[in-house]
Amino acid sequence: MAHGEVINVSNPAFENEEDVNDDDLSPVSSTLLSSVHEYQPSRISVQKGINNDIEKSLSNGISVPIVPKIDNSNDHRDHAEDDLGDDAQEKQIQIELDDIDIIEQVQLDMIVPPGAAGMIQQTSVRRKRLFFFKMPFYRKSKQPSKPQTRRLKLYEIYKFADIWDIFLMIIGSLAAIAVGACYTLILFLYQRVTDTLVDFGKLQTNATNLSFRLFSSCNSYIIPTTTKADSPHETILSIIKYYILLGFLSIFLYWIAWACWMMAAERQVRRIRYALFRNILRQEIGWFDMHNAGELSNRLIEDLNKIKDGINEKVPDFISLLARVLGTLVYALATGWKLALVFLSISPLVILTFNLTAKIAIFGMVQFIPNIQNFAEALASESYVFEIIERKTKIDASNDEGEKPQIITGDIEFDNVTFTYPARQEVSVLNNLSIKIRSGTMIALVGASGCGKSTILQLIQRFYDPDNGRVLLDGRDIKTLNVAWLRSQIGIVNQEPVLFSGSIEDNIRLGKPDATDDEVQAAAKMANAHGFIMTLPENYKTSSGDKLSGGQKQRGKVNVPNSNSFPRMAIARALISNPKILLLDEATSALDNTTERIVQDALDKAKRGRTTIVIAHRLSTIINADLIIELNHGHMVQCGTHNELMERKDLYYELVIAQTQKEKETDSDSDKEVDEVEKEFVRRRSVNRSFVKQSNASTDDLDDNNNDDDNDDETTTGDPSKEKRKKSFRIPFGLRILKLNASKCPWILLGVICSLIYGTTQPLFELLFAEIYGLFTKSDLREQERLISIYAATIFLIGLAAGMTQFLSSVSFAKSGEELTMHMRKLTFSAMLRQEIGYFDNEANSVGTLLTRLSSDASAIK
């Protein structure tokens, strides 16, 4: 039967499986049979030969192509592939791919029982694997491509430079070129010195030879006389004056180049840091789900330092080196082009030989390598930094675009909203959710953790945009509203509110930056916070911070902790702008019953006349809600008032009964719990005091925070004279570093020895060069050649030894330095964990400062 011929087949009628002989089956039948054994658990039978099966199945009327017979013999396949040329192989692959496409199309069109469809599907999969496995580009195309950061051009590093920066960089570049030109002039003067010394030596040698000749021929000794003009001292003294002048000029020009580029770099890095931080703050919440705080902190510190290293004093160094190389190359070609061409022919070998000592090399083109490395690191770091700076946020709260209605009522509607978080695309949090919330009503959301309660609040604030559906405010899609205006109409109290650094007044005023003092006090009174604020030492000016302990947060660093103060401050901050919508995300979940009643009274006042959405932890707080909505896996299961849901005796009824029983058990044990809490508090206070004695950094701060308690318990230990002697005696810093890095003493010792050996190579070079200059005074040319060969070989060996010792020194100190950095970070981090709470209360010990100490300060010791 011809290839590609179409026949009609029907459902095959299988006989007993034992009658089938595998040797009689065609390859396709064998494949089908193996698929049946693997994927069809029920017992089925196969007739002999796939052609007989097809001929018996004509009744179904389905058209499929006849699959060509494939020889599975490895030897035969290898031999056939060797015989076929490239064109024949490509044609064969194309034919096989066409067959695969036809079979897949037939599978979509035909209606067959599951067994036959499964066999055809498995056959298609196996044939795909058989054919595509031979093609390397197939695997490559199937791999998911990762988004790559755009690679910047070299000039794009300076895109934040203004006119003044460009002027400074031009002046610095010209000064750097002049520094390189000065080096060429120094070589010119050096040539004058060597020529003078060599000429004078030749003159002395010729005069001596002439005297011996005259003495041997005339039997008399004649001493040649030299005039003052024959002496090289005056010539060398005049050259030394130019040396001094060029030295001061080079220092001055290098200072100008260094200062100009450093000022330009500092100004540009400051703009880059500001633009990066500003654009980070403008990003939507979903972007922060994909980037953690440690990564962003690293970008702000390490990457910007690398950018600074790539555009500061390294640039004038590179320019001066380039000018030096070009100047010396031109000078070499002008004075001795033959020798210069010979040197240029072996310069790649010279660069390769000295590549190990690139960072400390003084002369030659090898000095380019460290600067190029800094440029490459700056480009790599700036590529990612610029990607963040140039990223257009999807939800920009600082943009003025969008509608700003003059009057809103507070009606909220979710219209078939579907949502997934950017970091968890595979989990659908809300599924076609539809809710209508009337203005001025109180809606309570209940359900298990992860059912979408907090997600609803975040969508209302437009922290995220729904994947499908709309969120409406007064009939308007919130995507059409100005983001900043929308959020100004919403007040929110989270489960764990945050106090920022500053006074209590400043924290409340964050809800409305232009609020007056009277408005601040009115908001505090509405939140039942005015009373306890007035009992604080400085009233509304009392300082607070984001790293205070719980009691300090609520009472403004006084000694008696009161857990009902801080939530009320957060409520005051939410109410100061008089929002139309109030969102309460389990605001009382972490409070005890007594405190909850006080805070609940404040919340009841705040709810009046506002659209309020409450996520309740205690169901007793939402009894008076206008509507209670129960959520489950992003769907609304049921809704109604408290009484209506209790009458249904469904899941809500069970939750209320279970929580009520638990509260009764908790109330019966409340006295015991209070005693245990007090004992635990006293124990922690005593532990804190023991930490105070161990920590010198935070002693003064703790004295301010715990005046009453700590002064009562402080006792003097030891003799003051002994303490004074202890403070006066300090181990030198260098010895302390060596003690910390004692485990790497072999590496340090090897590095010191190699550095000493490398240091002796420069005097040896000077000595050998002086001897080489003396060779030019010898009259015997053969002796000159012999000694020059010896000195050249010696210089090569010394250079090789210098390269090896410098490489070993770099490896040794790098190894010990990295180990020291890791050790210092561990010690620093463990010391931070051992500090008491008062240490973190200090403003100098904020999270950012501690991260900088771990990342930068520890590595700076290296």
Write 817-826 long-range contacts (CB < 8 A, 24+): 817/862, 818/862, 819/741, 819/743, 819/744, 820/737, 820/740, 820/741, 820/744, 820/861, 820/862, 821/858, 821/859, 821/861, 821/862, 823/740, 823/741, 824/740, 824/858, 824/861, 825/854, 825/858
Q: How many residues does the chain have?
A: 862
CA distance 127 to 369: 53
Identify the sign of the CA torsion 753, 755, 759, 762. positive
* Region of residue 133 (left: phi > 0; alpha: psi -120 to 50; beta: else): alpha
789 contacts 731 by C-beta, under 8 angstroms: no
Of the candidates 540, 277, 280, 510, the one whose C-alpha atom is nearest the C-alpha of residue 396 is: 280
Residue type, 438: R
Of the candidates 400, 390, 230, 377, the one whose C-alpha atom is nearest the C-alpha of residue 307 is: 377
CA distance 293 to 285: 13
Of the candidates 375, 350, 374, the one whose C-alpha atom is nearest the C-alpha of residue 363 is: 350
Neighbours of 666 (CB within 10 A): 12
Cβ burial 733-748 (10 Å sphere, 16+ → b, else e): eeeeeeeebeebeebb
Helices (H), 428-535: 453-460, 483-488, 504-509, 517-526, 530-534
806 contacts 663 by C-beta, under 8 angstroms: no
pTM: 0.55
- Residue showing tokens 């809606």: 443
Cβ burial 582-604 (10 Å sphere, 16+ → b, else e): bbbbbbbeebeeebbebbbebbe
299 contacts 276 by C-beta, under 8 angstroms: yes
- Reported as type and span, the H/E element at residue 8 is strand 6-9
Give the start-end residues of each E strand in 474-610: 476-477, 490-493, 502-503, 543-544, 581-585
155 contacts 68 by C-beta, under 8 angstroms: no
pLDDT of residue 174: 92
Instruction: Return the C-alpha torsion angle 654, 657, 661, 664, nearest 10.
Output: 150
Domains of the chain, CATH where assigned: 6-142 (no CATH), 154-390 (1.20.1560.10), 409-489+579-663 (3.40.50.300), 498-578 (3.40.50.300), 732-860 (1.20.1560.10)
pLDDT of residue 86: 53
Cα maximum dimension of the chain: 146
Of the candidates 644, 654, 639, 595, the one whose C-alpha atom is nearest the C-alpha of residue 621 is: 595
CA distance 168 to 259: 9
pLDDT block averages, 10 residues each, the chain of length 862: 40 41 45 43 42 44 41 44 53 63 51 44 45 42 47 72 89 90 82 72 55 48 44 75 86 90 88 85 81 73 77 82 82 76 60 37 50 67 74 80 84 88 82 86 83 86 88 88 87 78 82 84 80 79 56 38 62 83 76 66 73 80 82 83 81 76 60 47 45 42 40 42 45 63 78 87 83 73 83 87 87 82 81 80 74 69 62
CA distance 738 to 745: 8
pLDDT of residue 171: 92
Q: What are the tokens at 467?
A: 């994947």
CA distance 116 to 10: 10
Of the candidates 192, 182, 187, 201, the one whose C-alpha atom is nearest the C-alpha of residue 238 is: 192
Taking CA atoms, 398 is separated from 114, 391, 457, 464, 804, in Å, by 58, 14, 21, 16, 58
CA 232 to chain centre: 64
The pair phi, psi for residue 846, each rounded to 5°, is -75, 175
Rounded to 5 degrees, what angle do the CA atoms 761, 765, 767 make?
115
186 contacts 277 by C-beta, under 8 angstroms: no
CA distance 686 to 778: 89
- Reported as type and span, the H/E element at residue 344 is helix 337-353
Going by their DSSP bridges, the two strands 581-585 and 611-615 should be labelled as parallel
CA distance 540 to 530: 9
Q: What are the tokens at 451?
A: 């059912």
Output Rg (C-alpha) for the chain, integer angstroms.
43
